[in-house]
Structure 1
Amino acid sequence: MAKLINISKIFPQSNVAVLEKFNLDIGYNESIAIMGASGSGKTTLLSILGLLDSPNQGQYFLHDKEILQLSHQHKAKIRNTMFGFVFQSHLLIPHYTCLENCALPLYYRGLVPREAHEKAESVLSALGLQELSKRLPHQLSGGQQQRVSIARAMVTKPQILLADEPTSALDTATKEEVLDLLFTLAEERKFSLVMVTHDQTVANRCSRIIQLNKQVLC
């Protein structure tokens, strides 16, 4: 489904290659854990996969089509329809209700608020979060905030969910609940999950583990 070929990302000012001739093939409905020390390129890799950043060189294919040379507008459209994002910090907009936060990707897609809210309400309900729809983020627990961010990622029906340390700020019990939710959704909704984590127990739940290494150029 998605394939990176000889991807390199180099920061000349620090003489560091966070990714060098990196290859990755993401199949349908699989889960991949990305591990590595700080500065090894884990978040950069997610950003490249999600078309939030571009490599210095290499190729990126989605459904057998090379996409790195596409316009910013075309990339934004692919990003909004193909990918869902879950971050370590939930990144909910403080003055938006949970419903409005969940509907945000649909606003970007051009849906009128009424239709966007109906779709967002449906996702919140499916995740058991309907009672939170009118609350603001500061009125939620950390676990609830992260569940709402997962609902926001789900509302566009992504084919690939990119998660950057989604449970690192949660206590053990809440972490397990959020992980259970992610993997259950991946199985039920048939999307692929690519997750950055420092936690080996989290990584072990994935079907594949990829280890990144920081490289200093000569």
Structure 2
Amino acid sequence: MKRMLILFGAMTFLSACTVVDLDADGKPILPKDPNAKPGYTDQTPQQIAEESWQSRVMETANGHALSWADMETKSQTVKAGTSESVFVRASGIVTAFDTSNAREHKLTVTINGKSVNINIGPVLRSNGIRDAAGFRFEEFTNQVQYAQLTRALNRHAVKQLPKVDESWVNKPVQALMAVTMQRGNVDDVVAVELKPGTP
């Protein structure tokens, strides 16, 4: 009788166990934890850029963009020898459209009496969008994926911009930008959003 009870108990225990599939190496394939935080290890940089553009870039930019004057004040607090990127929203007058470099076009905009060169692509060479949006290295598999995300975000940003040409010169513009600052100095400005508007 005792043996039958033990056997019955063992069968009950086994029936309660979940059979787990194995991968090609014989390791168990575990289902994803529904409570786990989203990760980027199984996504391409392009997928990350597209899927997180609204939530991580635009919402952050629209919710935390500084004015140009506030950005200049904040730049005074940047630690010497380092840089920091922030989103900035400002209006101004376009004074030049520079296409001398076929791959790196720039708009020169007068903002608060200063000439500011805004990079608009088609190629952007800046970590500004990635860093201002708060992406952190530890969220990614390695340095390569982190660097590739920069390029993917920059390409995605360029796709969102309107077609810019000489007709923009001498017209007002509203700009949302990723600005990379050094101590008391603007190092790099990248367009995130451009709209004709009133300065």
TM range, smaller chain: under 0.3
Structure number with greater CO (CA < 8 Å, separation at least 6) is 1
TM-score, normalization by structure 2: 0.27
Tell me the TM-score normalized by structure 1.
Answer: 0.26
Higher-Rg structure is 2
